[in-house]
């Protein structure tokens, strides 16, 4: 039995609030249950130095957590003077995931930055961040389309992410914080709308896991990501 | 005529959403028009080193702005590795303002940290932060009262803040971003519910101003802060 | 009775030693009693990036305190690796104050940096820094005038600063350290030679203060700044 | 055809030089072809603060790359003042991987730090670091055993790691730098001697990959890790 | 001919102003011609961690240069966030030099910090800093003696420092800035009152130098340091 | 008697392994007994900003120590976020020493960086670093010569370095760690192949030393450096 009463293959309630803030070209507050992440997409007419003059654009991400998004207050990274290894890992993952579905040549020589700021955390912030960023990115590209900023629509597919893990011996979908902190094995999956795998990160927190377990987690993830993509489609309809 | 069509002594629509996030002992999303600040109050059973063993508590504040709270994206302070002078000025001001209405002995040897994070900015983020933090602090103290953590209620009065300035030659109340960026003179006032002055910061951006102008701005501020305190009272009713 | 035996409206002995160091275009050791600040004005043929090509110049300031300027040794900011919030607040204030009396177009596209280094501290270092920086800036502009570096004299007025506060229930002028550390209310005023207000920063350290008190402090400040401007005039005569 | 002429499922020549440096309790220079990593295991009689008094030990890792380990000189992280996101990701991975095979209670309340410093890089530095660290850790534990520092041997199994990827459409084992920089899909596998999975990190650099591809890469990894574990056994025999 | 018209073995005018600032236990403004360094000695009742409980004291130094002490303004180290290699070299040298003449056991378990801040620079700031610090240290120890803080006078000897170099082919004493920047060989000598060598640092900026040259520079240094020690004796008389 | 059983004027076994790593234009593992330093020379087609356009090249150095090169593990400088004063002193010394024998005009407008990384430390790391860097630099210049990158061979002479000190009252050559940590006086000498002095750094750790002692140490150094230069010649033969 899961602490939340959910079935093993059941997602938390998921919602997308588009236009949550007004200045960004795209903005979306995504909720995976009690995990709330504000994703904004900011367009800038510049690219990183190593891309200058190549005609290609760039999509990148930054991640942050408000100090009291968590059960106990955590130190503000701006005050401690550096981003933790965890923060850097997550923002690199979000950036790679979104780039996997963007045609950077079609985008043109400009950069879109996805800022993912966790307002409230209850496990799965990185998967919510990826899934919500796709909506913010979509709105940013729509904003550009209205201004005829490209010829070819640069978004090739949906992308979404979910965590799976072994809780009390059972493979379960979309871990919340109580499950995440006690899970023996924890894996994050990033997949496209057409079912391609973009990223897998699986870790045995306690005992090593078997190939069979990996297969079960992957099956759960495919189901969950299918549902997330359906919700993205509703949200942008 | 003000860009927003407001009268010279008219506040923007103000609202307080209590309990915006669930982990903090007190939390409030305050809105001054399009300026939205999430204020959380976090209780910790420790005090800064210089207060240890003295039987007194402490109230402090930290301030941050999400990178795309602004018209143009600004650099994330956690990524640049330090808090700007502006950020430090504001968080010191918020902390002093709240301490002015707290009986630190009644609080007991513990610390409350007010985190003020700007989700969307349209001028006046520091005044909204102070005004909203009072509500978050109130809720944190209520949480403590329910757990019988003190004998005497430590909150001595309301505190709220507003900006005033000269726009197009006229003294106006509660500057929004278009007014703020063009104002000749800009002043922030922090006052208590009973009308005492906690802090005045007035700056002549262009021409120096006169004592008479200071008087006009102060009169506007008193009116505005009176209305803000009334709204705080409604919010906690 | 004030610890120093001064009358409530009496400044400490004030002096300006021009040319205290020889390399700077302008340099002045200012003394407000036992508070000694070395102010130097350095001319550079460049402006900050955001002003490039606009034909306007810039005036900025930096502030530092020698580790043993104070009663107890304080940590060297260069060793701790960052400037404190207090340092940043002060240097921003000094820069704004001086810019208020400089015609930046007349100055031309160049920058003057005022370095204010406290050799000995006894309260009021920021007000001494502003008042002394005006003299260093004057000498720097004279140096430029001798080299025909501008057509119009860019210094529009004097600027000086003083602190006032409530000590033992009485409003007093020019707080020294013993007064400053026990004052209930503390305000810094920056005003021009012609009596315009450039900046007011008033803080209730303990009880909030009234509009009447603000008026009394302002009256003291006007008297004190009048005397400081007279001393500046003597110094450059 | 692979640039090196290797068969798709062929490892580079692998060697372990035990005792490469003399001060560390365990030290091993591991070579995967032209990738050379010096791994040292340092024993300290202390644990991180959050483990104090709990009777459990800790195993952690740090990773570095000499500036000219690479084709082009890269900036020294000590000079730039921070460790990159990549460095932090790798050292967190190495630490997790080794902890997966250590009985931290049997180790007792002390810490072993594995320092992995890349002397020469040709792709796969993180997998070499994990594989070589196991040997350094083994020698450190032998050193402790000789001094009767624990009752139960704390090393539960071997652990080793290898990368796989799609090169020119073919799944290949143990990518070297030319393959790594052109691979469409890249995955790192960490597995135990008994075949359990400790960590999987798979990334689609270009096109998303399928579940079938994941299966092929995993099969290659199992073969490779089996060979690496056999080499570890030879090395410590 | 030297730029200053001095004879090869002639020091610049040297003076010591004791008690230049009032808070420090010892303070001295030392002038070697146009090089002016403020040296303060601060007593603290603590020692570095590695000396705790050992009954020995410590003497250390910090060095700084005001931004406009130099011909061109240099960046403030507190603003750039770190002390340069040059600063660290000098402060380590000053600390070692003073420790060479202090009986750390007689001092007792306390620390004296010598802060050497260059108000104006014209070459030889490190030698002036050492020579002036000795006077500040002497005054600090006198202050302690008056409070009966030790049984045995801890200062074993004088210590002073001077630079020598080859200018225009001739060995000269006490290089000023124009000489220093063009000197082929530059050496700093630290010696005690009784003629013992504490530190030699000689560098060939251009051509390597011979043993004979080293001898000539050492002879000059002995003469110069003899004169400096005589001046120290006058100053404390 | 020396701890190692060496005669007072006897070097430790010295060896140079050229080409220890393959990417650098020059690379050498130098061993002075148990002190092992990896020196690499990296060529870059750029110079520091202050040399741009002047037709001259630059030679610089960086120094690092692997955390467990030492008896006890020391903190990784990349993790602590800054290079120690000792590290900076050494890398400045290595750079100056090598520049003393390079014709920077003949080198042309490019930079060679010598990275000296200590794999194992037993005293004398800076002298080994200088002596080994000369070999790496030689190989880098040979690499350039094969590509006809200059007209005149830019290396004017050999340069090598050795430490000397007083151990148990006797002047000894090439201190190892046990001697270094107990030596009363410690001096490092850098000299050219033709016997010119490039740098002397002598420090009295305890009692000041005499001119006669300096002479004895210098005599030892000349002998030792002569032998080191002979070994360099063998190594490049």
Q: How far is CA C102 from CA C87, C128, C170, D154, in A?
A: 23, 19, 36, 73
Distance CA C121, CA C31 (A): 10
Torsion-angle region of B108 (φ positive above 0: left; ψ -120 to 50: alpha; else: beta):
left
| Contact (CB<8Å) A203/D204 | no
Q: How many CA atoms lie within 13 A of C128 on its CB side?
A: 35
Predicted ipTM of the assembly: 0.95
CA distances from D16 to D131, D135, E139 (A): 9, 8, 62
Q: Contact A111/A58 with Cβ under 8 angstroms?
A: yes
Is the pLDDT score of D205 beyond 80? no
Cβ atoms of F23 and D122 closer than 8 Å: no
Q: Please tell me the predicted confidence (pLDDT) of residue D90.
A: 97
Residue written as token pair 């953590």:
B149
Range of the domain at C179: 14-236
- d(Cα D58, Cα D107) in Å, to the nearest integer? 8
Residues A35-82 pLDDT 10s: 999 999 999 999 999 999 999 999 999 999 999 999 999 999 999 888
With bands split at pLDDT 50, 70 and 90, how would you rate the model's confidence at F68?
Answer: very high
Contacts of C76 in chain E (CB under 8 A): 62, 64, 78, 115
Given CB atoms, is B92 within the 8 Å cutoff of chain A? no
Q: Does A102 touch chain D (CB under 8 A)?
A: no
Q: Mean per-residue pLDDT for E110-120?
A: 98
Q: How many CB atoms lie within 10 A of CB A10?
A: 16
Q: Tell me the shortest Cα–Cα distance from E113 to chain C, in angstroms.
A: 9
- Inter-chain residue contact A68 with B34, CB threshold 8 Å: no
Q: What is the mean pLDDT of residues F52-63?
A: 96
- The conformational region for residue B211 under phi > 0 = left, psi -120 to 50 = alpha, else beta, is alpha
- Å between A117 CA and nearest CA of chain D: 18
Interface of D with F in 22-51 (CB under 8 A): 22-24, 27, 34, 36, 38, 40, 42, 44
Check whether D30 has a pLDDT greater than 80.
yes
- Candidates E62, E63, E159, E204: best to mutate against F (most CBs of F within 10 A) is E204
Residue with tokens 């056994």: D233
Tell me, yes or no, if F117 comes closer than 8 A to chain D by beta carbon.
yes
pLDDT for res F210: 94
pLDDT 10s digits, C145-181: 999 999 999 999 999 999 999 998 999 999 999 999 8
pLDDT value for B174: 98
Distance between CA atoms of residues A114 and A94, nearest Å: 8
Q: Is the pLDDT of residue E126 over 90?
A: yes
Q: Give the tokens for residue F79.
A: 């993790």
Domain of E198, CATH number, reads: 3.30.230.70
Q: Put residue A33 in one of left, alpha, beta given phi > 0 → left and psi -120 to 50 → alpha.
A: left
pLDDT, residue F177, reads: 95
Q: Between D100, D207, D213, which is nearest A204 by CB?
A: D100
Chain B residue numbers with beta carbons less than 8 Å from the beta carbon of A139 are none
Question: Would the CB atoms of B197 and C191 count as touching at under 8 Å?
Answer: no
Does D154 fall in a domain?
yes
What does the angle CA D144 – CA D145 – CA D148 come to, to the nearest 5 degrees?
A: 95
What pLDDT is recorded for position E28? 98
F166 located within any domain: yes
Tokens 């800022």: give the residue: A115
pTM of the predicted model, to two decimals? 0.91
Identify which of B206, B183, B34 has the alpha carbon closest to the alpha carbon of residue B123: B34
Sheet bearing B14-18, strands edge to edge: B14-18, B26-32, B35-44, B111-120, B58-65
F9 within some domain? no
Q: Does A77 touch chain B (CB under 8 A)?
A: yes
Binding residues of B for phosphate: 86, 124-126
Classify strands E35-44 and E111-120 as parallel, antiparallel or unpaired: antiparallel
Q: In whole angstroms, what is the distance from residue D166 CA to residue D186 CA?
A: 7
Inter-chain contact F21–D79, Cβ cutoff 8 Å? no
Q: Are the CB atoms for F32 and F127 separated by under 8 Å? A: yes
Residue C118 to residue C135: CA distance in whole angstroms:
16
Q: What is the pLDDT of residue F7?
A: 97
Beta strands in chain C (DSSP E): 14-18, 26-32, 35-44, 58-65, 111-120, 159-167, 170-173, 185-192, 197-204
* Residue A110 included in any domain: yes
Instruction: Kindly state whether E66 is in contact with chain C, defined as any CB-CB distance less than 8 angstroms.
Output: yes
**CA dihedral over F18, F24, F26, F29, signed as positive or negative:** negative
Do strands D111-120 and D58-65 pair parallel, antiparallel, or not at all (unpaired)?
parallel
User: At residue A205, does pLDDT exceed 80?
Assistant: no
Question: Residue F182: what pLDDT?
Answer: 85
3-state secondary structure of E191: strand
Contacts of F117 in chain D (CB under 8 A): 66
E168 part of a folded domain: yes
Interface check B230 vs C, CB under 8 A: no
F1 lies in some domain: no
The chain B residue lying nearest A91, using CA atoms, is B79
Q: How far apart are CA D3 and CA A176, in angstroms?
A: 46
Q: Identify the sign of the CA torsion A222, A225, A230, A233.
A: negative
Tens of pLDDT, residues F155-209: 999 999 999 999 989 999 999 999 998 878 999 999 999 999 999 999 997 789 9
Separation CA D43–CA D24 (nearest Å)? 8
Coil, helix or strand at residue F118: strand
Q: Tokens at residue A60, please?
A: 């990148």
Q: Which residue of D has its CA nearest to A93?
A: D203
**Distance, first Cα to last Cα, chain C:** 36
C-alpha of E69 from chain center: 17
* Inter-chain CB proximity E120 and C23 less than 8 Å: yes
pLDDT at E73 over 80: yes
pLDDT digits (tens, 9 = 90+) for D123-142: 999 999 999 999 999 999 99
Smallest CA–CA separation between B109 and chain A, in Å? 18
Residue E6 marked in a binding site: no
Residue found under tokens 């006490």: E174
Task: Show the CA angle centred on residue B24, arms to residues B18 and B29, nearest 5°.
Answer: 30
CB atoms D71 and F23 under 8 Å: yes
Count structural domains, chain F.
1
Could you tell me which residues of B are annotated as the binding site? Answer: 86, 124-126
Span F86-103, pLDDT tens digits: 999 999 999 999 999 999
**C202 vs B195, B197, B211: nearest CB:** B197
Report how far Cα E164 is from the mean position of its chain's Cα atoms: 14
Please tell me whether F124 is known to bind a ligand.
yes
State residue F92's pLDDT score.
95
F222 → chain E, closest CA residue? E211
Q: Are B208 and C191 in contact (CB under 8 A)?
A: yes
Q: What is the pLDDT of residues A90-142, one digit of tens each?
A: 999 999 999 999 999 999 999 999 999 999 999 999 999 999 999 999 999 99
Best of D34, D69, D73, D123 to disrupt the F interface (most F CBs within 10 Å) is D73
pLDDT at E1: 83
Q: Is residue C62 within 8 Å of residue E75, measured between CB atoms?
A: no
In a domain, D65, yes or no: yes
Q: Who among E27, E67, E121 is closest to C62 (CB)?
A: E67
Which regions of chain B are under pLDDT 50?
none
Q: Which residue of E has its CA nearest to C76?
A: E78
Quick check: D219 contacting A, CB < 8 Å? no
Q: Which residues contact residue E66 at a Cβ distance below 8 angstroms, ignoring those fewer than 6 apart?
A: C21, C38, C40, C64, C115, C117, E117, E118, E119
Report whether pLDDT(D64) > 80: yes
Closest Cα of chain D to F170: distance in Å? Answer: 28
Rg (CA), chain B: 18
E149-167 pLDDT, tens per residue? 999 999 999 999 999 999 9
Tell me the three-class secondary structure of A148-214, residue by residue. Answer: CCCCCCCECCCEEEEEEEEECCEEEECCCHHHHHHCCEEEEEEEECCCCEEEEEEEECCCCECHHHH
Of D35, D82, D89, nearest to D61 by C-alpha is: D89
- The pLDDT assigned to D50 comes to 92
Name every chain F residue with its beta carbon within 8 A of the beta carbon of E96: 203
State the best of B204, B216, B221 to mutate against chain C, taking most chain C CBs within 10 Å.
B204
Please identify every stretch of chain C with a pLDDT value under 70, giving residue numbers as ranges: none
CA angle (E118, C113, E175) in 5-degree steps: 30
Do the Cβ atoms of F100 and F154 come closer than 8 Å?
A: no
C vs E, Cβ pairs < 8 A, gives 97
Indicate whether A7 belongs to any domain.
no
B21 inside 8 A of chain A by CB: yes
């Amino acid at each position: 039995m899961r602490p939340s009463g959910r079935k093993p293959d059941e997602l938390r309630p998921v919602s997308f609030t588009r236009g949550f803030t007004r200045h960004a070209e795209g903005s979306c507050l995504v909720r995976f249950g009690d995990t709330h992440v504000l994703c904004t997409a900011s367009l800038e007419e510049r690219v990183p130095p190593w891309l200058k003059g190549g005609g290609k654009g760039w999509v990148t991400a930054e991640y942050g957590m408000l100090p009291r998004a968590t059960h106990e207050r955590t130190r503000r990274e701006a005050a401690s003077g550096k981003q933790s290894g965890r923060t850097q890992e997550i923002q690199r993952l979000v950036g790679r995931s979104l780039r996997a579905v963007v045609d950077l040549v079609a985008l043109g020589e400009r950069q879109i930055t996805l800022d993912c700021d966790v307002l409230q955390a209850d496990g799965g912030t990185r998967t919510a961040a990826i899934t919500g960023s796709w909506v913010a990115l979509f709105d940013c590209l729509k904003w550009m389309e209205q201004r005829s900023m490209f010829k070819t629509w640069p978004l090739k597919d949906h992308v979404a992410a979910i965590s799976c893990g072994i809780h009390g011996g059972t493979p379960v979908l979309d871990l919340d914080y109580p499950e995440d902190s006690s899970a023996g094995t924890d894996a994050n999956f990033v997949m496209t709308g057409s079912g391609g795998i973009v990223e897998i990160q699986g870790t045995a927190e306690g005992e090593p896991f078997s190939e069979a377990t990996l297969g079960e987690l992957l099956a759960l993830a495919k189901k969950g990501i299918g549902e997330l993509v359906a919700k993205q489609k509703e949200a942008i309809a």
